[in-house]
């Protein structure tokens, strides 16, 4: 039986439960039992948050791109230049290999990492004050940061351990 999972149609025999964020067991656990997530060891909690709540596209997009658009993951762009009507990218991968790619079009997506420094609607002095845990603000059970009156919700609050 084919199910539509978070990452697209899949032939997995198990059912993927739905959540407001998509269909997957990981999302279900995080959305349904956030209090359990808060009590996991820091390294496990951060890995789960990055894996389960990290950037992902809708399930229907994968089938439109597979076999049509080459997708290269885990690359860092270290150089780019235009060569006539082509683009030449120099990339570096996680194994330390450098590769030069020549193509007509590039879509570079960087993903998203929680960083209080990027919350630019807060004054720089205020952004620097909250206690942090791997870039995430440290929050109490009521989502309050170490700065009185400053609260965080959403992905910013996902990795908090208090």
Query: pLDDT value at position 81?
Result: 93
Q: Is residue 98 part of a domain?
A: yes
Q: Is residue 130 part of a domain?
A: no
Q: Is residue 79 part of a domain?
A: yes
Q: How many domains is the chain built from?
A: 1
> What b/e string do you get for 5-30 counting C-beta neighbours within 10 Å, with b at 16 or more?
bbbbebeeeeebeebeebbbebbbbb
**Residue 133 contacts by C-beta under 8 Å, 6 or more apart in sequence?**
42, 46, 159, 160, 161
Q: Is residue 141 part of a domain?
A: no
Query: pLDDT value at position 84?
Result: 87
* List of long-range contacts for 45-51, beta carbons under 8 Å, 24+ apart: 45/159, 45/161, 46/133, 46/134, 46/136, 46/159, 49/136, 49/155, 49/158, 49/159, 51/26
Q: Is residue 97 part of a domain?
A: yes
| 30, 47 contact by CB (below 8 A) | no
Q: What is the pLDDT of residues 111-157, one digit of tens each?
A: 667 788 888 899 999 999 999 988 889 988 888 999 999 999 877 88
Query: pLDDT value at position 80?
Result: 93
Tokens of 148: 């009185």
| 85, 104 contact by CB (below 8 A) | yes
Grouping H, G, I as helix, E, B as strand and the rest as coil, residue 103 is strand
Tell me: pLDDT of 11 over 60.
no
What is the average pLDDT across 12-33?
75
Q: Is residue 29 part of a domain?
A: no
Q: What domain range is 83 assigned to?
A: 69-103
Query: pLDDT value at position 118?
Result: 82
Query: pLDDT value at position 61?
Result: 77
Query: pLDDT value at position 8?
Result: 47
With pLDDT > 70 as the criterion, what percentage of the chain qualifies? 85
3-state helix, strand, coil in the chain (%, to 5): 25, 25, 50
Q: Which residue has the higher pLDDT, 21 or 137?
A: 137
Q: Is residue 87 part of a domain?
A: yes
- Cα(50)–Cα(74) distance, rounded to whole angstroms? 14
Tokens of 120: 């630019």
Q: What is the mean pLDDT of the chain?
A: 80
Q: What is the pLDDT of residues 46-79, one digit of tens each?
A: 888 877 876 666 667 777 888 888 888 788 889 9
Q: Is residue 122 part of a domain?
A: no
Query: pLDDT value at position 59?
Result: 65
């Amino acid at each position: 039986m084919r199910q539509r999972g978070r990452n697209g149609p899949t032939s997995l025999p198990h059912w993927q439960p739905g959540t407001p964020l998509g269909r997957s067991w990981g999302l279900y656990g995080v959305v349904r039992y956030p209090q359990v997530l808060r009590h996991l060891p820091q390294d496990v909690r951060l890995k789960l948050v990055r894996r389960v709540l990290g950037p992902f596209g809708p399930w229907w997009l994968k089938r439109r791109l597979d076999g049509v658009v080459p997708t290269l993951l885990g690359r860092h762009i270290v150089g780019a230049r235009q060569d006539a009507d082509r683009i030449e990218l120099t990339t570096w991968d996680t194994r330390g290999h450098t590769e030069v790619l020549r193509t007509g079009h590039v879509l570079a997506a960087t993903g998203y990492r929680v960083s209080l420094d990027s919350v630019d609607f807060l004054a720089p002095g205020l952004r620097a004050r909250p206690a942090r845990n791997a870039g995430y603000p440290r929050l109490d059970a009521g989502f309050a940061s170490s700065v009185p009156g400053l609260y965080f919700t959403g992905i910013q609050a996902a990795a908090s351990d208090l």
